[in-house]
A and B are shown apart, each in its own frame.
Chain A
Amino acid sequence: MTTKYVLRFVALGYLAALLVVPVGLVVQRALADGPGDFLAAITTPEAMHALWLTVLIALIAVPANTVFGVLCALAIVRRRFPGHGLVNSIVDLPLALSPVVVGLALVLVYGRNGWWGSWLIDNGFQVIFALPGMVLATIFVSLPFVVREVVPVLREIGDEQEEASATLGASSWQTFWRVTLPAIRWGVAYGVVLTTARALGEFGAVSVVSGRIAGRTETMTLHVEERFQSFDLTGAYASSVVLALLAVATLLAMTLLRREDGS
């Protein structure tokens, strides 16, 4: 079966050239000056604050998008209201939108001359160029993932079990918690992983709305940019490695949970 080996060669070769080698290069360059320098680079006050800020934003954005994601998937698949196809596409839109456009749109609403911005700023609520704005941008760009993972699963499992549950007298909430949610949990879990990864790695939209205040509104990705611009390549690559590790860790966590679950 040479086709098998050809396919394997092509697939792995492609991945090597496009993904593995470049990412390997990041890791190698991060450690090029030795593990001591690597650790020093990721423990500077700016780097630590950037990490804290990134994690904080993810901790807000990911649960929000997860709750939304599940409810939205339910609405799209179970309710089948007119225009559900449009809603499905709108939910996918953040995947496509350029971060420049996202940033611009947010500034148009929350900026000093924006729709709500003038009122907000006059009343002391700093949305843009502060944490709330960055959270909004991150929620925006990582919105689709849970929905996209849950919708096919919901379609796949069908609503027979849910109907059965209702016939047996369970309330809608009970059906939801005990029948639906457990059935879609792997879709949700994978969606959470992707949402987290995306939230951690967001750069463009957040850079427009963050104001880049060192030690206050610099996320890990912005910190990477800042280090590059200051000719500190080790520092930049080191922070990138931390980001990648965080994302891989979330994925591994899910894989482990899955294995324990025995599915």
Chain B
Amino acid sequence: MSSVAQPVVKPLRRRRNPASLSLGVTSGYLSLIVLIPLAALVLRSTEGGARAFWNAVTEPQAVAALKITFLISLIVVIVNAVAGTVIAWVLVRDSFRGKSIVNALIDLPFALPTIVAGLTLLALYGPKSPIGVNVAYTTSALVLALLFVTLPFVVRTVQPVLLELDRDMEEAAQSLGATPLQTFRRVVFPNLFPAILSGTALGFARSLGEFGSVVLISGNQPFKTEVASVYIFGQIESDNVTGAAAVSVVLLVASLAVLLAIGGVRRWATRHDN
């Protein structure tokens, strides 16, 4: 600890300190891994000119696929917001035997290959269902598959916030006569809201692009259960790479927009913090 005894403050050397290194490495890595492939995608989508791009994304089947994708993702996201919050609440505030095991299981959808998720849901809720529930090849199957893969998002963003939450305010509210529901609505929820929003946004963005689990269980009926990623795959296979890239760009922009919006909302919601 002899270095600490120096009385003079060392100036931050611009060259090799972690801060500037972090910026350089970040941009370099991000560019190589993410930005350059995405740039190639965007450029490919414009290869036929603006007209070809427009035609590709307004083709009836493409529009149907995008509509289905967005609609289903929205439904999934709403269910997730509610279910995820409830689950996070139970995992933090409640205690029962096996809780830590349940907690560990939440991350499983990240690890299970999407194809396994799809096949298992198919086995359980499809034509050969052992419990007689058959929703395979319908939009319900789509919702089911997407709920599975997006399960961890809201739970894992809300949990840490709940853990940090100061119970004093809740207890104060209760001692002042507020019902549990009022307490939740006025005291707890506003604090959870940014986290719920973050989690649902990520879940939404993930649902937009899901492929592996959906492709097996939904039936991929054009105009009925075909989602955007399956449509894109079909276009690649039909030698319409430009069209596929165009629809991909639409998905990309939508995802980015959602993520940016959420970032903005989160900053607004926490503007009074610190």
A→B interface (CB under 8 Å): 3-4, 7-8, 10-12, 14-15, 18-23, 25-26, 29, 64, 67-68, 71-72, 74-75, 78-79, 81, 85-102, 104-106, 108-109, 114-115, 136, 139-140, 143, 152, 156, 158, 166-176, 180, 193-194, 197-198, 200-204, 220-221, 224-225, 228, 236, 240, 243-244, 246-248, 251-252, 255
Asked if B26 contacts A87 (CB within 8 A), the reply is: yes
The answer, yes or no, to whether B62 is at the interface (CB within 8 Å) is no
| 28 sampled A-B residue pairs with Cβ under 8 A | A25-B123, A25-B124, A64-B29, A74-B22, A75-B26, A79-B22, A89-B259, A93-B38, A95-B206, A96-B255, A96-B259, A97-B209, A97-B252, A98-B211, A98-B229, A99-B211, A99-B229, A101-B229, A140-B37, A169-B5, A172-B18, A172-B19, A197-B107, A203-B114, A240-B113, A243-B112, A243-B116, A255-B104
B233 to chain A, nearest CB (A): 5
Q: Smallest distance from the beta carbon of A60 to chain B beta carbons, Å?
A: 12
> Nearest chain-B residue to A20 (Cβ)?
B105
Contacts of A12 in B (CB 8 A): 90, 102
B87 touches A14 (CB 8 A): yes
CB distance from B265 to the nearest CB of A (A): 11
Question: Nearest B residue to A72 by beta-carbon distance?
Answer: B26
Contact between A197 and B151, CB atoms less than 8 A apart: no
Q: Does B71 contact A (CB under 8 A)?
A: no
- With the chains together, A74 CA to B25 CA distance in Å? 11
Contact partners of A88 in chain B: CB under 8 A: 263
Interface size on B, residues (CB 8 A): 94
- Give CA–CA (A91, B260) in the complex, Å: 11
Smallest CB gap from B88: residue in A: A11
Q: Which of chain B's residues has its CB closest to A68's CB?
A: B29
Q: Mark B4-41, 1 if CB is under 8 A from A, else 0.
A: 11111110110011110111011001100111111011
**List of A residues within 8 angstroms of B117 by Cβ:** 22
Seed contacts A11-B87, A97-B209, A143-B34; 15 additional CB < 8 Å A-B pairs = A68-B25, A68-B26, A72-B29, A72-B30, A90-B34, A92-B205, A93-B34, A93-B252, A96-B258, A98-B208, A99-B211, A99-B212, A101-B41, A172-B12, A201-B112
Bound Cα distance from A22 to B123, whole angstroms: 8
Determine which of B109, B147, B212 lies in contact with A204 in the assembled complex, contact meaning CB atoms within 8 Å. B212
- A244 to chain B minimum Cβ distance, whole angstroms, is 6
B141 at the A/B interface (Cβ < 8 Å)?
A: no
Chain A CB within 8 A of B49 CB? no
Contacting chain A: which of B53-61, B170-178, B218-226, B241-249? Answer: B241-249
Q: Which of B9, B12, B13, B112 contacts A167 (CB 8 A)?
A: B9
Q: Do B206 and A96 touch (CB < 8 A)?
A: yes
Q: Are A240 and B112 in contact (CB under 8 A)?
A: yes
**Alpha-carbon separation in the docked complex, A87 to B148 (Å):** 28
A221 and B211 alpha carbons, distance in the complex (Å): 14
Cβ A246 vs Cβ B111 within 8 A: yes
Whether A91 pairs with B30 at a CB distance below 8 angstroms is yes
Distance (Å) between the CB of A189 and the closest chain B CB?
Answer: 13
**Interface status of B238 (Cβ within 8 A of chain A):** no
Closest to B119 in A: A228
